[in-house]
């Protein structure tokens, strides 16, 4: 039997791989017309052997995904809500549709607002095929009848020219952040034609999206109990999240983050604000996390996760960046870098283009400004040595040309007291943490990891762990540089409980803030379509995620003792941030 199953898996993999290389490219610049969509729908069973590709084969999959509503619901059902979801851009479009069907299976009525866009937001070409609107209208127009109205789809571009009010300050901020992500550079000279055109493009699509969202919610906000939006921080999704908040529609966001088969859920705001972590952290005593042996156990789990990241090992992490040797002694490292243990400041920046989210930039206007001003201040006002360790991802293909060394060179910063370790440098970031006197970071999770080594940390952005007391408080430049001075002269040291508090927060961030979700890649949807998923042995865990997504902030806060009690840790998480294997063990087909 197992041999037959393996043969079937190999055959399916071969068919899917063939489609990726032969069929999918046929629709790179166009979408099926009405006639071809009907043919694809008719050939549904054969097409569903392939991976979902929202550029051409949605018609075959939607019929099947809708069948999940015929499956027996898992009891108890949550209170039924009228939920608005938003879809935009290739790949995410598929996940948003599948999520809508699963939310409807949990008893909700879901309206899928969408914009007819099926390109990547950060990869050229940005322009869609001419028939994208008619293609999606034809395919998604079948959703309402198929689900008997439990899921409906609305083209939000119809609301674009209705005169919705624009938040100009938010538009300018997010247009700049979107341009940074697209160009992979923080320094934006709008006088350069390429940069200027890119900014104008994102400002235009942002204005259109925000206008449509504001007008739609102004007229229909009362028709919804909740908006559930992917990411909520950038591109059109950010504008719809912002419009929902301004219109008084409760909003939740979700995002695939550091691990496989989990999503971060955030109630009330864009995902990167991580407000749910505050809600857990400040109730940690009530929830049982300060009681022994739980307290020690979760601290140990936090360290286990950090050690996996240190060595780029372990199946938990979706990204493995560290390349530096991990077998060097502290004496070897300090001799190599020309520093003394406990007598240097460690500076750890983010990747430049991934550090400009709206709401972070309350102290410095950019990560680049933070890096330059922090380093220059230490060199000009103190005699401490500095080790600036570039983010290891800066050398990855497609990650832009703004490397740490080039940022310093452009700013004219050079000193015998400044040691720059490039992204591919043969020094592991984690081996530097216990050797420094203190660290300055921008918004990276590295800040928590350094604090776990009992070192005081100062963050240059308004990040979540600063709210939880892991980094020194600073909300203005004056406060920031005053704290930096105290660190440099040794007047500011780590609080007694810093290391343990940081390890617990690290655990909570990676274990309690992220919820099991079955679909990272389209091939997983093929292997375990929604109707099969809801019959799987793990459906109670996945249903919990769906129910958390559909809770208002108030409902989530009330449910916390039930959802994240310390005595539920082993059941929910075991030794990894998820309790059991993903629903399919098939090898993923490359996308």
pLDDT at 314 over 60: no
Give the residue-averaged pLDDT of 391-410: 81
CB atoms under 10 Å from CB of 202, counted, come to 24
Q: What is the pLDDT of residue 583?
A: 35
Please, which pLDDT band fits residue 213 given cuts at 50, 70 and 90? Answer: very high
Burial of 71 (0-12, 13-18, 19+ CB in 10 A): middle
Read off φ and ψ for residue 229, nearest 5 degrees.
-130, 135
pLDDT at 308 (0 to 100): 85
The DSSP letter of residue 67 is: G
Task: Enumerate the domain spans of the chain.
Answer: 2-281+514-573, 321-512
Strand order in the sheet with 418-421: 418-421, 385-389, 344-348, 438-441, 457-459
- pLDDT at residue 460 greater than cutoff 50: yes
For 253: left if phi > 0, alpha if psi spans -120 to 50, otherwise beta; the answer is beta
Give this prediction's pTM: 0.91
Nearest to 328 by CA among 314, 310, 302: 310
Neighbours of 384 (CB within 10 A): 19
Q: What is the pLDDT of residues 246-275, one digit of tens each?
A: 999 999 999 987 678 889 999 999 999 999
Q: Coil, strand or helix: which one is 117?
A: coil
Q: d(Cα 421, Cα 453) in Å, to the nearest integer? A: 20
**Poorest-confidence range of 130-139, 238-247, 298-307, 558-567?**
558-567
Question: Closest Cα partner for 281 from 506, 545, 547, 548?
Answer: 506
The per-residue pLDDT for 584 is 35
Q: How far apart are CA 274 and CA 266, in angstroms?
A: 6
Asked if 503 and 38 count as a contact pair (C-beta separation under 8 A), the reply is no
- Cα 301 → chain centroid: 22
Mean pLDDT of 67-91: 95
Cα 434 versus chain centre, distance? 28
Tell me which range, 227-231, 323-327, 363-367, is most confidently predicted by mean pLDDT.
227-231
Q: What is the pLDDT of residue 575?
A: 36
**Collapsing DSSP states into helix, strand and coil, what is residue 371?**
helix
Burial class from Cβ neighbours inside 10 Å (0-12, 13-18, 19+) for residue 286 reads: exposed
For the cut 60, the answer to whether the pLDDT of residue 2 exceeds it is: no
Closest CA to 225 of 217, 234, 237, 233: 217
The closest alpha carbon to 251, from 86, 32, 434, belongs to: 86
Which pLDDT value is given to residue 574?
46
In DSSP notation, 47-62 reads HTTS---TTT-HHHHH
Question: Domain 321-512 class?
Answer: alpha beta
Q: Mean of the pLDDT values across residues 227-235?
A: 95
pLDDT number for residue 537: 92
Q: How far apart are CA 167 and CA 216, in angstroms?
A: 15
Produce one character per residue of 189-201: b if its CB has 16 or more CB atoms within 10 Å, e if not: eeeeeebeebbeb
Give alpha helix (H) positions in 147-224. 168-183, 193-220
Give, in order, the Cα–Cα distances in Å from 302 to each of 297, 454, 504.
9, 14, 6
Confidence of residue 28 (pLDDT cuts 50, 70, 90): confident
Mean model confidence pLDDT for the chain? 89
The distance from CA 189 to its chain's CA centroid, rounded to whole angstroms, is: 28
Q: Cβ–Cβ contacts within 10 Å for residue 406, how many?
A: 11
In this model, does residue 84 exceed pLDDT 80? yes
- Least confident range of 421-425, 479-483, 526-530, 587-591: 587-591
Evaluate if residue 462 carries a pLDDT over 80: yes
CB 137 within 8 A of CB 578: no
- pLDDT category of residue 580 using cuts at 50, 70 and 90: very low
Bridge-based pairing state of the strands 262-267 and 151-155 = unpaired
pLDDT band at 410 (very low <50, low <70, confident <90, very high): very high
Q: Is the pLDDT of residue 38 over 60?
A: yes
Query: Does residue 445 carry a pLDDT above 60?
Result: yes
**pLDDT for the residue numbered 9:** 61
What is the reported pLDDT for 161?
81
pLDDT of 309 above 90: no
With vertex at residue 449, the alpha carbon angle to CA 274 and CA 354, rounded to the nearest 5 degrees, is 55
Q: Please give the torsion angle defined by the CA atoms of residues 515, 518, 520 and 521, in that order, rounded to the nearest 10 degrees.
A: 180
pLDDT at 502 over 90: yes
pLDDT tens per residue, range 323-343: 655 678 999 999 999 999 999
The answer to whether the CB of 521 falls within 8 A of the CB of 543 is no
pLDDT of residue 591 exceeding 60, the answer is no
Distances (CA, A) of 245 to 19, 213, 267, 277, 462: 41, 11, 11, 20, 20
pLDDT in tens, 130-162: 999 999 999 999 999 999 999 999 999 999 887
């Amino acid at each position: 039997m197992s041999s037959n199953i393996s043969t079937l898996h190999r055959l399916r993999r071969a068919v899917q791989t063939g489609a990726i290389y032969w069929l999918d490219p046929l629709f790179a610049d166009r979408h099926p017309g009405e006639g071809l969509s009907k043919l694809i729908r008719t050939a549904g069973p054969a097409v569903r052997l392939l991976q979902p590709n929202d550029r051409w084969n949605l018609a075959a999959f939607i019929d099947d995904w809708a069948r999940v509503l015929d499956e027996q619901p898992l009891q108890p059902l949550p209170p039924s809500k009228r939920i608005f979801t938003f879809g935009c851009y290739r790949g995410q479009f598929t996940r948003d549709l599948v999520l809508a069907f699963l939310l409807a299976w949990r008893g909700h009525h879901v309206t899928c607002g969408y914009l007819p866009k099926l390109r990547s937001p950060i990869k050229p070409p940005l322009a869609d095929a001419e028939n994208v609107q008619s293609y999606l209208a034809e395919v998604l127009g079948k959703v309402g009848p198929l689900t008997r109205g439990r899921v409906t789809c609305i083209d939000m571009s119809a609301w674009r020219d209705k005169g919705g009010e624009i938040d100009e300050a938010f538009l300018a901020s997010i247009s700049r952040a979107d341009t940074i992500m697209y160009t992979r550079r923080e320094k934006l000279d709008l006088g350069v034609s390429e940069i200027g055109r890119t900014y104008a493009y994102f400002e235009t699509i942002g204005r259109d999206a925000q206008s449509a969202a504001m007008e739609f919610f102004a007229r229909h906000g009362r028709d919804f109990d909740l908006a559930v939006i992917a990411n909520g921080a950038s591109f059109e999704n950010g504008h719809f999240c912002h419009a929902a908040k301004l219109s008084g529609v409760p909003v939740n966001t979700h995002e695939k983050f550091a691990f496989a088969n989990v999503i971060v859920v955030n109630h009330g705001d864009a995902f990167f604000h991580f407000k749910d972590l505050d809600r857990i952290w400040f109730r940690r005593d009530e929830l049982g996390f300060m009681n022994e042996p739980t307290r020690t156990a979760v601290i140990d789990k936090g360290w286990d996760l950090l050690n996996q990241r240190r060595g780029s090992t372990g199946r938990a992490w979706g990204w493995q960046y560290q390349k530096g040797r991990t077998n060097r002694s502290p004496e070897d490292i300090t001799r190599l870098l020309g520093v003394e243990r406990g007598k240097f400041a460690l500076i750890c920046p983010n990747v430049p283009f991934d550090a400009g989210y709206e709401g972070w930039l309350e102290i410095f206007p950019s990560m680049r400004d933070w890096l330059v001003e922090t380093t220059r201040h230490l060199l000009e006002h103190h005699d401490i040595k500095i080790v600036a360790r570039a983010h290891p991802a800066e050398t990855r293909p497609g990650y832009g040309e703004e490397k740490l060394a080039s940022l310093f060179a452009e700013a004219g910063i050079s000193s015998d007291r400044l040691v720059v370790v490039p992204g591919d440098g043969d020094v592991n970031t984690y081996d530097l943490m216990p050797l420094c006197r203190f660290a300055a970071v921008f918004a990276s999770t590295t800040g928590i990891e350094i604090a776990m080594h009992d070192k005081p940390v100062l963050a240059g952005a308004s990040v979540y762990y600063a709210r939880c007391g892991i980094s020194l408080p600073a909300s203005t430049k004056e406060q920031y540089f005053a704290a930096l001075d105290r660190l440099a002269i040794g007047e500011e040291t780590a609080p007694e409980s810093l290391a343990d508090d940081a390890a617990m927060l690290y655990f909570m961030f990676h274990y309690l803030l992220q919820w099991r979700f079955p679909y990272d890649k389209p091939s997983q949807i093929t292997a375990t379509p929604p109707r099969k998923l809801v019959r799987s042995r793990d459906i109670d865990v996945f249903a919990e995620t769906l129910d958390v997504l559909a809770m208002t902030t108030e409902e989530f806060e009330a449910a916390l003792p039930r959802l994240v009690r310390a005595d539920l840790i082993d059941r929910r998480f075991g030794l990894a941030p998820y309790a059991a294997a993903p629903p399919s063990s098939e090898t993923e087909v490359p996308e």
